[in-house]
Structure 1
Amino acid sequence: MSRIAFVTPPFAGHFNPLFALALAARDAGYEIEFITGPRKSAVIRRHRLTPLALRSIGDDTLESIANTAEPVTNNPLRLLAQFRQNLRLLPAIGEELEQLWRTNPPALVVADSVAPIAGLVAERLRLPWITTIATPFALEARRGTPTYCGGWMPASNALEQARDAAGRAAIHIFKRTVGFLFRKEFRQLGLSSLYRSKDNGGSEAIYSPHAILGFGLRELEFERDWPPCFEMIGPVIAAPEPASPLLLPDAHPRVLVTVGTHLLWAKRELVEQVVALSRAWPEVHFIVSLGEAESSVTPFTQAADRVRVYPFVAYQENLERFDAIIHHGGAGVTYAALLAGVPSLVVPHDYDQFDYAARLAYHGLGLRVRSLSQAAEALPRLLDRVQWPALTRFQVYARAYEPEKAFLATVKQFAVPA
């Protein structure tokens, strides 16, 4: 039986889609080796797979890096500090993976985009590997509107086209600078450059040269170029954790509010802010999800007359029951809202969230505001379904993708099931 090794950090936006693909591969006849942080071991076992937690990763090592005390946004100093923390872990992780796979090599390695060390080890051992990426627009582009610049909209005139060109150049220079500053550390990982040679396409070396699979919608993306080996296979939003039945009030409108699984600093005042919002809109019922999947079976608490707080709300099973959603602009919740046909009010906080907010606003799928305090003013438009005719079209787009089928078709190019 062909064995596939899946490698991902234990963060919901990366773990959940990759785990869904692992289950699909198991059902298709492949043997599965799933490597992630210790925190996800219980849920992996619940689905009758054996987790493989690396000795080089402590219980909350990865989570402590991701859960920053303040927003990182596009601040280069904060990005570098976080990058340096990750970089310190990679030699030990790489050594452990190499020992594991040299002894018992898998037929294929599937590496999440934020676990590139798995791909580098696979390449060193001459094992085929593919990359999966939850935020496809993170791939560097040579044309179009750059990302991680605060949520730019597509250029509509010559001045904005010049802005885009300058933004793309700045991103490329920043990456080249990082490559130079950390050249010693990268060489220890077997990475001589962040980019492949021009003879090999000049693509980013941390992504597979064989196949890059994006969990997104081409229809949502702004006009740009993609690597030749890239395929958009569609969103995967299933959460593997069990959840308590969601008890919702009979009355409408209902609004779900969440800031996802990370952003602990943003959660501190979330419930208080939603309670204040409920006072401004006494006819609206608010459900708050704290994104704590490990506590998903805990019942809700009543924070105010029309504000219920759940540790975790599974989007796939429940989002269609809401009239709107207020969220942070994470990849998973963005695609979940499109699949459910629910309008979004996005309050971006960090990383790729500004770019998802821009895409939803540009295509007429939601609104973006700078803070939750501005939500009261935006709520009437958000709840007016007449304002969102594009939602039906994008829901059709999203539901037309078959990510598991596309993934298995790619896998069969490298590994044949039993």
Structure 2
Amino acid sequence: MIKTTDAGPPLRILAVGWEGGGNVPPTLAAVRALADRGHDVRLIADDTMRAEAIEAGARFLPWKRAPNRPDRSPESCFIRDWETADHLAGFQRGCERIFVGPAQAYAEDILEALAMEPSDILLGSDLLFGSMLAGEIAKVPTALLATSISLWPLPGHPPFGPGFQPAQSVAGSARDAEVSAMAEQVWDHFLPCLNAARAHFGVAPLAHVHEQPLSAGRHLLATSSSFDFPTEHLPDHVRYVGPLLEAPSWARERWAGQPAHKTQPLVLVSFSTTNQGQADVLQRVISGLAGEPVEVVVTLGKALEGLRLQSAANVTILANAAHDDLLSKARAVVTHGGHGTVMRSLCHGVPLVILPMGRDQNDNAARVDYHGAGLRLDPSVPPQMVGGAVRRVLSEPSFAERALALGRAITEEGPGPARLVAEIEDFVLRSAQGALSAA
């Protein structure tokens, strides 16, 4: 970990954001930490993030040419991965509509912002290839913020997506190599689009899509090295900064309730800040816990506002609530496995039952399973299997013990916001020294 030193002159920082649900709070946490440090931060992002960005201390710029969501309703979502049960098809939609397809539009907006005011660093997104391209074209030191685990496998890690455990055999290594090759083909389906954007700006084509992130000098992972799989060695440009656990602006209301039966364990149920078609899964979870000797609190969030669910006497359904208050009392969490929910639960030492529904959730669940801090279920399981998994997590002490130990390890790594600030300041300093040496 880089130690924070005297801040020196304020840095001029252009940060990049996009409305993807769970990626928004970590992005805003990064902005807040940098602004609180005294740096001049501009955030270019969807209009949905305007008020939050200003409250966090940034000056806000909206996307003009690039996709820009005016609100957080399901209707305004560009990816709409809940409309298909095929996770690969959902990922391809993301590539086509946000990640790679509009790269030229994102880059044009960012380059315009850099032309308006110079910046010492561009803090891009690990999913917005237009932000990487803009940094390369403008020759501005560029760091990419990954708001979850690394999208690109680290040495010794399985490929992103399927939720594999690390390979332990020749067969496992062959599996990883085969899936990695398939993933490269999926990415490279969008190579003509990316190279067309590069040609528009007069830069040379790439042989593979995955080469574009290598143009950035730093990849900052807003997760914990203790949570992640062990790696053979960490590439020099990759740094763990720790989780950035800012609460969503719409979920800061404190939960003042008390369990009806204080002798029964409290179970928190939470399934995402964005629509993933999770209503059916959530209903089966509630049904599975209805007959159990537990008190259940379900938080819906923006994704499920107004959803009508069949409840039970031991179930309380809230539109939203600050999870930290609930987790201080909870004995287990049932969730889709979004990175923010998982990390927040572990930081409180609470074990999990995870029913992943796509995105990074399979891989987060694999890490929870690897550490023995919870159980992973297929989201199609019947209600009784959910109830059985929660019973097991509550009755077998090892799950709580391992969740508590993992939470302590995450905390001991240091606070994510401070580590992110230190890494960015160090990166800018090293970039300036390198430029002087080259001159």
The TM tier, using the shorter chain, reads 0.7 to 0.9
Task: For residue 137 of structure 1, give the secondary structure of its aligned residue in structure 2.
Answer: coil
Conserved 8 A contact 1:183-1:192: yes
1:384 aligned to 2:392? no
Q: Give me the TM-score of the superposition, normalised by structure 2.
A: 0.82
Unaligned runs of 5+ in 1: 197-202
Give TM-score scaled by structure 1 length: 0.86
Is 1:98 the counterpart of 2:98 in the alignment?
no
Contact 1:72 1:351 in 2 (8 A): no
In structure 2, the residue matched to 1:17 is 26
CA spacing shift, 1:126–1:396, aligned 2, 3 Å = same
Percent identity of equivalent pairs: 20
Give the superposition deviation at 1:344: 0.4
Distance 2:158 2:309 in 1: 43
CA distance in 2, matches of 1:122, 1:153: 34
The one of 172, 178, 199 equivalent to 1:160 is 172
Per-residue deviation, 1:58: 4.4
Aligned to 1:26: 35
Are residue 214 (structure 1) and residue 224 (structure 2) matched? no
Residues in 2 aligned to 1:270 and 1:167: alpha-carbon distance in whole angstroms: 28
**2:271 — aligned with what?**
259
Q: 1:363: which partner in 2? A: 371
Q: How far, CA to CA, are the matches of 2:223 and 2:101 in structure 1?
A: 30
Partner residue of 2:417?
A: 404
Partner of 2:45: 36
Q: 2:255 aligns with which of 241, 246, 252?
A: 246
Is 2:312 the partner of 1:304?
Answer: yes
The separation in 1 between residues aligned to 2:327 and 2:418, in whole angstroms, is: 24
| Structure 1 match to 2:405 | 393
8 Å contact kept, 2:69–2:77: no
Contact 2:103 2:133 in 1 (8 A): no
Structure 1 pair 6/294, CA: closer, same or farther in 2 (3 Å)? farther
**Superposition deviation, residue 384 in structure 1:** 2.1
The verdict on how the C-alpha distance between 1:45 and 1:240 changes in structure 2, with shifts beyond 3 A counting, is farther
Name the counterpart of 2:97.
85
Match in the other structure for 1:127: 140
Provide the residue aligned with 2:6 in structure 1.
Answer: none
Is 1:8–2:20 an aligned residue pair? no
| Counterpart in the other structure of 1:343 | 351
**2:235 corresponds to which residue?**
227
Tell me the SS of whatever aligns to 1:13: coil
| C-alpha distance in 1 between matches for 2:309 and 2:92 | 39
2:82 & 2:157 partners in 1: Cα distance? 33
**Match for residue 432 of structure 2?**
none
Where 2:122 maps in the other structure, the secondary structure is: strand
Alignment correspondent of 2:5: none
1:385, CA displacement in angstroms?
5.3
- The Cα shift of 1:49 comes to 3.7
Q: Does residue 171 of structure 1 match 2:169?
A: no
CA distance in structure 1 between the aligned counterparts of 2:80 and 2:378, rounded to whole angstroms: 21
Q: CA deviation at 1:279?
A: 2.8
Hey, what does 1:322 align to over in structure 2? Answer: 330
Asked if the contact 1:116/1:207 (under 8 Å) is kept, the reply is no
Which of the residues 281, 291, 315 maps onto 2:301?
291
Moved more, 207-216 or 312-321: 312-321
d(CA) in 2 for partners of 1:326, 1:114: 27
> Are the aligned partners of 1:381 and 1:387 in contact in 2 as well (CA < 8 Å)?
no
The SS at the match of 2:217 is coil
Is 2:127 the counterpart of 1:114? yes
Deviations 1:169-196 (A, max 9, x none): 3333443444257643554465722659
Unmatched runs of 5 consecutive residues or more in structure 2: 1-9, 430-439
In structure 2, the residue matched to 1:199 is none
Structural RMSD (CA): 3.0
How far apart are the structure 1 equivalents of 2:79 and 2:335? 19
Q: Is 1:140 the equivalent of 2:153?
A: yes
SS at match of 1:265: coil
